[in-house]
Amino acid sequence: MIKILLRSILIILSAASFVFALDHDPNGRLIMSLGGEISVINPILSTDTTSSAIEGVIFTGLVKVDKNLNFIPDLAKSWTISKSGRVWTFKLRRDVTWHDGEPFTAEDVKFTFDTILNKKVNSVRRGDYIIDGEPIVFKVVDRHTIKAILPKPFSPFLTSASMGILPKHILEGKELDMSDFNRRPVGTGPFKFVQYKAGDHVLVKRDPDHYGGAPKLKEILFKIIPDENTALVALRSGDIDETGIPPKDFHPIKHVNLYEYDALLYTYLGFNLKSPKFSDVRVRQALSYAVNRKQLIGLVLRGLATPAYSPCSPVSWAYSDDVFKYEYDPKKAKALLKEAGVKKLEFTVLVNHGSKEREKAATILQQQFEKIGVKMNIRVLEWSALLKVINARKTPKDFDAVIIGWSTGVDPDSYSIWHSSQYPAGLNFIGYDNPKVDRLLDAGRREQYKSDRKEIYAAMYKEITKDAPYVFLWYPKVLAGVRDRVGGLSEPGPTGLFLNIEEVYIKK
Amino acid sequence: MEVGTTPKTKPNFKPASTPKLIFPDRRFMRRYIVRRLIQLIPLLIGISLITFFVMHMAPGDPTSLFTDPNIKPEELARIRVNWGLDKPVIVQYFIWLKNAAVLNFGYSYISGKPVIEEIFERLPATLLLMTVSFFLILLISIPVGVISAVRKGSLFDNLFTVLSFVFMSIPSFWLALIFMMVFSLKLEWFPPFGNIILPCAVMVISGLAGITRYQRASMLEVLGQEYIKVARAKGLPENIVIFKHALRNSLIPIVTLLGLSLPDLFGGAFIIETIFAWPGMGRLGVSAVFSRNYPVIMGITVLTALLIVIGNLLADIGYAIVDPRIRYAEKK
């Protein structure tokens, strides 16, 4: 009797697994496209999105983000913050092994962060682990527990805790910047490194022992395709499975699913606040009122963007709608200029070569400003040359205005963009100086609880928009196409379609 | 048949009507080559010096490309110091020169790989594409040029003249995109990347016109020479006249061109590599410039300078071998 029962269970189970196994191809290879050259496959050294796409599947960090931009456990299964807000204790998973079979421990975590803090290593991320000049100290409590002791409470620290962890047993004592490891990485992620052909592709394969469960895909091929037209042709022909699509090409393609979603980005026109032309807030507000964002987005991006009125993307939890919105009103613009006593205003805006959208936007803004009697000249500069101008360590800087964008991180802290100390060396290249905003920025970093921080940032955005230091232009939509043979994609949003890469599969 | 060794002011018959190649005096040639190679050293120093300074004059530096808003400026300054960029440019140059002299070209700022490794990894792809393209160009343009010259004014000649000008005028990037649309997208004969045929076809069509016109002009000049008239008057069959006598001599300028094209074989073609995602030297060089990757820029420059000089040398030697009238006479 029991034998029959067991046998029937066995038959049912095998039938069931057969049915479940049918939906995806266990030999499936996903082909992703990369738009530029890879620098190094090392999360503490690279700064380009191309390399980080690959690092995202090979390495993992203490925490990661979910589709709602909340931090959830990854290598750390839980964490606590002390009452003072200064000591963060992370309890690590015990079932993690490196791709070479060695066990993962707290020593690896300490090693990674100490390496970032090492002045001799060329990691630009070092500044993320230094608060007001004091470094964060990492202490190994036991094999699976690590403490981070901050010089003072700092909420954005969790973002820094998502940094990919490097293996101590491989890298200890080696010179990291020139190490071969950067081309043959070993990590804790769902995919293992297989092959890297310089300038051409990177191949990774499934790690069946991954702690989060073996991924459904057998392999991922990251192919470098520098030209966007080529990528589009390759998507159409099925030689690649996904790519970003420029607005002009965003229409139905056979066998391809199109996705349009928001991200943590915004494009703006920034004023040099130290220039006498823009020192009067009424002039800046006038120019903000003069912009017809709907027309701009329609002409430049085929409508595939949202008008922006605040320095925070609507998908961030800190977003607040209660800001000063300068909605299109040319009459008001003219009145403000008159009030400020400005009869003739002429200035030059810098745009980087290589962004057709920004160049087009400049010409349309030129026309829109002309309607209120302002003459804007356009100067297109090569990217590095433009950066040199706006990052120059002098005051006043040699520009009037610039059209550029920000890609903000998961944490809404934007200290480096708005704090008065970040000028002239820093990302506050417009020279914004508002003590109230400075205080709010400091408070936002200090407070632990999201609800408190949200209030702080809402007040800050209101204050910033009142001063109109930028003309906020648009929040671009991310446009992507994925072949319909690919399943298991994550919900479209700021974390992208491939957030849960272990769930992605190729349909049979 | 006597072979003349002293250059005449205006020869009225061609001594090299024998098919043999006359090799110049070995001892002399060795001294000549050595002298040319020694001249290479001051040349490379001059080129590298100028390149180094011009490179540093370009606005921005390798760290200005780290534009993540969360990167602090002190970190960029520290990295600049780690790379030795805080020293005066002339000091940086001499450090570079000292290392380059022992063939240490440093490490790429972007990948941390030794520059030599970076370059040699990308060379095979470029050499493959360029040599195959070049070979095909020669295979097509020499016969076409010869026939155009021999049948000057005919339909063949006029047709290929027009085609040459058309091919010369077509921008290579446009042709590349059209080919991709037609052959990859519509006909699905070739994938948009990974296959050599499409980029090769674009390179060949773009490069065909030049050598065809050269060959045609050279052939016409040779056919107008007195000795060809003599050969014809002697009663030699026409194809012996053309292929045994005229052709060889018309190839002399082509030999020179081949030598001068050596740097192109190694330099790659940026536009074609970008469009067809071909991992070659062209993309490496251009991206190094845009990212201010100084060590790689210097490595590629030195390599290119070397190739130009060697190419010139090979052309001069080849020229001397093919045309026995040429001797690089030493002053005794």
Q: Tens digits of per-residue pLDDT, A292-314?
A: 999 999 999 999 999 999 999 99
What is residue A393's predicted lDDT score, i.e. its pLDDT? 85
Using CB atoms, pick whichever of A226, A382, A426 lies closest to residue B274.
A226
Whether A387 and B65 lie within 8 Å, measured CB to CB: yes
What is residue B18's predicted lDDT score, i.e. its pLDDT? 47
Using CB atoms, pick whichever of B74, B79, B192 lies closest to residue A234.
B192
Interface test with A, best of B63, B67, B81, B185 (most A CBs within 10 A): B67
Using CB atoms, pick whichever of A40, A119, A416 lies closest to residue B111.
A40
**pTM for this entry:** 0.86
What is residue B309's predicted lDDT score, i.e. its pLDDT? 86
* Residue A50 identity (one-letter amino acid): T
Residue A179 at interface with chain B, using a CB cutoff of 8 Å: yes
Interface test with B, best of A232, A233, A388 (most B CBs within 10 A): A233
d(CA A140, CA B29): 71
d(CA A267, CA A493): 18
Residue B326 banded pLDDT, cuts 50, 70, 90: low
What does the DSSP 8-state code read for residue A449? -
Walk along chain A (508 residues) and give the pLDDT tens digit of each residue: 667 666 755 565 555 444 444 567 778 999 999 998 899 999 999 988 899 999 999 999 999 999 999 999 999 999 999 999 999 999 999 999 999 999 999 999 999 999 999 999 988 888 889 888 899 999 999 999 999 999 999 999 999 999 999 999 999 999 999 999 999 999 999 999 999 999 999 999 999 999 999 999 999 999 999 999 999 999 999 999 999 999 989 999 999 999 999 999 999 999 999 999 999 999 999 999 999 999 999 999 999 999 999 999 999 999 999 999 999 999 999 999 999 999 999 999 999 988 889 999 999 999 999 999 999 999 999 888 888 899 888 889 999 999 999 988 889 999 989 999 988 888 899 999 999 999 999 999 999 899 999 999 999 999 999 999 999 999 999 999 999 999 999 999 999 999 999 999 999 8
- Secondary structure of B50-76 in HEC code, one letter for each residue: HHHHHHHHCCCCHHHHCCCCCCCHHHH
Distance of CA A106 to the CA centre of its chain: 27
- Residue range B176-188: mean pLDDT, rounded: 92
Residue A315 at interface with chain B, using a CB cutoff of 8 Å: no
- Residue range B2-30: mean pLDDT, rounded: 56
Which tokens go with A171?
A: 């890298």
Q: Phi/psi at A377 (nearest 5 deg)?
A: -95, 150
d(CA B147, CA B163): 15
Whether A179 and B112 lie within 8 Å, measured CB to CB: yes
Q: Which of residues 85-124 of A touch B (CB under 8 A)?
A: 119-120, 122-124
Q: What is the ipTM of this complex?
A: 0.81
What is residue B8's predicted lDDT score, i.e. its pLDDT? 46
CB atoms within 10 A of CB B184: 23
What is residue A8's predicted lDDT score, i.e. its pLDDT? 59
Question: Can you tell me which residue has the tokens 């011009």?
Answer: B54
Interface test with A, best of B70, B121, B180 (most A CBs within 10 A): B70
What is residue A141's predicted lDDT score, i.e. its pLDDT? 97
What is residue A90's predicted lDDT score, i.e. its pLDDT? 97
> In Å, what is the CA distance from B83 to each residue of A88, A197, B51, B87, B253?
35, 26, 18, 10, 47
Q: What residues contact B61, with CB distance under 8 A and at least 6 apart?
A: A388, B80, B85, B292
User: What is the interface size between A and B, counted as CB pairs within 8 Å?
Assistant: 146
What is residue A5's predicted lDDT score, i.e. its pLDDT? 62
- Which of the two residues, B74 and B250, has the higher pLDDT score? B250
Using a CB-CB cut-off of 8 Å, the residues of chain B touching A182 are 111-112
d(CA A485, CA B39): 61
- pLDDT tens-place string over residues B120-178: 999 999 999 999 999 999 999 999 999 999 999 999 999 999 999 999 999 999 999 99
Residue B58 at interface with chain A, using a CB cutoff of 8 Å: yes
Residue B177 at interface with chain A, using a CB cutoff of 8 Å: yes
Q: Phi/psi at A434 (nearest 5 deg)?
A: -135, 110
- pLDDT tens-place string over residues B195-217: 999 999 999 999 888 899 999 99
Q: Phi/psi at A315 (nearest 5 deg)?
A: -85, -5
The alpha-carbon gap from A413 to the nearest alpha carbon of chain B, in Å, equals 10
The alpha-carbon gap from A428 to the nearest alpha carbon of chain B, in Å, equals 9
Which tokens go with B267?
A: 């330099």
What is residue B264's predicted lDDT score, i.e. its pLDDT? 86
d(CA B115, CA B318): 32
What is residue A86's predicted lDDT score, i.e. its pLDDT? 94
- What are A197's strand-pairing partners? A201
Let me know: does A507 contact A485? Beta carbons within 8 Å.
yes
Residue A331 at interface with chain B, using a CB cutoff of 8 Å: no
Residue B316 has pLDDT above 90, yes or no: no
The alpha-carbon gap from A199 to the nearest alpha carbon of chain B, in Å, equals 5
